[in-house]
Chains A and B, each alone.
Chain A
Amino acid sequence: MTMIASEPGEHAARPPSAPARWRGWLLDRASLLIPCLMLLALLAVYGSMREGVFTLDELNLDTAAAMTLMLAATGQTIVLLRGGIDLSIGGMISLGTVIAATQFGDGGATTLLWSVLIVLLGAVVGMLNGALITVLRLQPFLVTLATWSILAGTALIILPIDGGSLPSGWMAFGSGSWLGLASPVWLLILLLAFWFWFKRTRTGIAIKATGSNERSAFLSGVSPLAINLWTYGLSGVFAALAALYLTTQTGAGSPTIGKDYILPSVAAAVIGGISLFGGRGGLVGTIIGAYILTIIGNLVFVLSISSYWQPIASGVILLIAVLASSLAEKSSRRNLS
């Protein structure tokens, strides 16, 4: 058998020309650049209609308004990176708020104890999702749809209508501030710090890798069960945190409020450039996506038009984001071949 040998050096990749390199760089980051541009555009419109949009106060307010969504979407981001989806966060958020509103009482100790218990409950519920998905080989969509329903029902049994009460100190959380930044902003900084740490840990890498190619990850020694326990467990924890934060804002428990966060958490992530097929994207995009959704809400308010315009605008933005990043994806593919 004879094979043709290639000439030495001939195979070495030709360095691309400078403009081509720039194009490639931009296309690579398109899924993050596009939401950034959309946020800037929205802010420009918003700023032209109202005074004081570009101040710390506005940042504090918007972050406070967006934080529940950001927390819920952090969990969702991790799940989407893994290539799954978690609908049960809706049930978990509702359940978290009603437990808090019925159990916190007045004492600092019970508040702390029950907060910890709620977060633990989130972890357990999430890990249960993960275990069911792995062991029974069921679709994440179906499993978390079922647990959502169960959790939401449980919340209704505990507290059939909005109500309950929370300690006044608890509700003061949002008004705290330090160095001009309100506590939700500090919470966001913590969240991002967590993310930049987590995505570099072995577990973080393995979650992303499993979403990117499950079979390859398994062949490389990733345990599917462990990865799903981590992924959905974390999602449950963030849903619980979202519930706790939400009660500091509303001051009450609500057995039905969680469903308002399920699809927006997915939308924020997708607007932020996370692929529903897993493996690609990060929390920074999701946070920007959450801000975009929040600013749209503000705009609808400032324009004093019917609030029904908010979901419509969100939908349009979502479409633009998905379309733009898929176009960028396609042309970067073409660049390659």
Chain B
Amino acid sequence: MPDFLEALSVAKRYGGIVALSDATLKARSGEVHALLGENGAGKSTFIQILAGAVRADSGSITLGGERFAVRNPEEAQRLGVAAVFQELSLIPDLTVAENIFFRREPLSPLRTARAGAMREATAELFARYRFPAIRPDQELRRLTLAERQVVEIAKALARDPRVLILDEATSALAPRETEWLLGLSRDLAAEGKLVIYISHRLGEVRRIADRVTVFRNGATVAAYDTASVDDDTIIADMLGRQMERLYPERRNTTTGRIALSVKGLSVENRLADLDLDLREGEVLGVAGLQGHGQRELFQALFGAARASGAIEVWGKPRTIRSPRDALSGRDGLALVPEDRRNHGLLLAKSVRENLTLSVVKRFTRFGLTDPKREAKLVDDMIAQLRIKAGSPEQAAGTLSGGNQQKVIFGKMLLTDARILLLYDPTRGIDVGTKGEIFTLMRDLAARGYAILFYSSDLAELVHVADRVAVLRYGRLAAILEGAENSEHQILRAAMIDTRAA
């Protein structure tokens, strides 16, 4: 079968930064085609070119045998290319239905949008593709990140595209919705559409992709049939080197000192009467089914949710009513939040400013900032996390998605707080860096940090955490340790009520 989409030697630079140098991708209709690469490899830039949001400097693209040169998103949509962007393209002040039909509203004879028709069509679309339940007349800003992601997918599908591009669409989704999207992608391919699928989760890619194309530093380095290649080869192509191992060796560095002690913590009806001790030098995992109180636990500890109960930090009672209370010096708590784009970064500010904004004290002497010390802190952090930025002065908003996440991670590390609350810290981060983050976590623990760690990927908890606290209906269902800390045991504790049994 001939290739439906053919992009040859596409290049794009932003000033001095080369985002793409030689990107080539050939894909057929009726297949799910995965696009893989490290953070900053150019995946999002490439699909933004396909979707008309960015214009390439050079290269040629054909779609269905015809030259494909679009100047804006509207033209791309008209030619049947619809994209679900990593940064979503939804309007907070419109309803779900209005968002889905934005710019394509069905019109009355007076040329006004027909709200009823839009609502019905939305319901129909949701039913046809078995969407998770979302009310079409809700305003978008009322929805959770995962729900917005689902609406964005609906918006792309409503255009009945020939090519559907999904840029890390599963990174914000709960497992059940992830399953749904994987199934949906296969169904769409079976309908004869081309699905271009970007993800850092090789497991997903293996399950649905017919072929993969790998980018490295803005250039295509390999393309395979998924069935004929193993993970190690793909990872080596992505990183340009063999990866030794994903998970670091786990040494128990726990001391007897209790860093954070929680007694009777409750958050509305989401978290009930939770007792938990986090020790110095320990990585304590948190697991549970979606919505069983993990998020509330992190928010309460960081002062972002109203909670009752007693919290002791390094042996001293502490009231945490706002993030300001939480973040105070060496005996404070630092959090990697869930919705990073909205809560974690100042997109228009530079990487340097984002990293150091909350820690100006560390390089201030006699009331004056010392740029040399600041530069050193920043350079060290950029090197340590391998943040891919042209310079420390690049605006954070122009970094690739994964690199923005690294900046937030770095910002938290610089705060000097020794209790770290990591809520899914590896989401959207490439495998290579994931391994580095795990190593870093274990090193920090060895240096006396105490880390509370939630991950949507169970394997990470099993391999990185010393103990895993499993939540069920907002209560502590079990604490698993040693040989007990396995995916199987975690699932058991999360699903079966061990206390009642």
Contacts and interface: CB of A to CB of B under 8 A. Distances in A.
A221 B175 CA distance: 31
Contact of B458 (A4, A12, A201, A218): A4
Contacts of B98: 205
A208 B94 CA distance: 9
Given A11-B132, A202-B103, A4 B290 contact: yes
Interface stretch (A45-53, A178-186, A209-217): A209-217
B46 to A, nearest CB: 16
Q: Which of A4, A10, A337 has the most CB of B within 10 A?
A: A4
A219 B44 CA distance: 13
Contacts, number: 120
A8 B113 CA distance: 36
Interface residues of A, number: 36
A18 interface: no
Nearest to B101: A205
Contacts of B88: 216
Interface string B51-93: 1010000000000000000001110010000000101111111
B306 to A, nearest CB: 8
B178 interface: yes
A203 to B, nearest CB: 9
Given A197-B110, A219-B53, A4 B287 contact: yes
B103 A222 contact: yes
Q: Chain A interface secondary structure, helix, strand, loop or mixed?
A: loop
Given A11-B174, A202-B107, A5 B203 contact: no
Interface string A1-19: 1111111101111000000
B360 interface: no
B487 A201 contact: no
Contacts of B249: none
Nearest to B491: A4
Contacts of A217: 91
Contact of B93 (A2, A212, A218): A212
A11 B179 CA distance: 14
A2 B91 contact: no
A157 to B, nearest CB: 41
A2 B175 CA distance: 10
Interface string B173-187: 011101100000000
Most buried by A among B176, B291, B487: B176
A202 B105 contact: yes
Contact of B92 (A8, A212, A220): A212
Contacts of A279: 91-93
A200 B113 contact: yes
A215 B103 contact: no
Contacts of B289: 4-7, 10
A1 B90 contact: no
Interface of B: 51, 53, 72-74, 77, 85, 87-94, 98, 102-103, 105, 107, 110-113, 115, 132-133, 142, 155, 174-176, 178-179, 201-203, 287-291, 299, 304-305, 456-459, 487, 490-491, 494-495
29 contacts: A1-B201, A2-B458, A2-B487, A3-B175, A4-B458, A4-B494, A5-B175, A6-B174, A6-B289, A11-B132, A11-B174, A13-B133, A197-B112, A201-B112, A202-B113, A205-B98, A205-B105, A205-B113, A208-B93, A208-B94, A209-B94, A216-B91, A218-B53, A219-B53, A221-B72, A221-B73, A221-B74, A222-B103, A337-B299
List of 4 A-B pairs having minimum Cβ-Cβ separation, nearest first: A221-B74, A200-B112, A219-B89, A1-B203
Interface of A: 1-8, 10-13, 197, 200-202, 205-206, 208-209, 211-213, 215-223, 279-280, 336-337
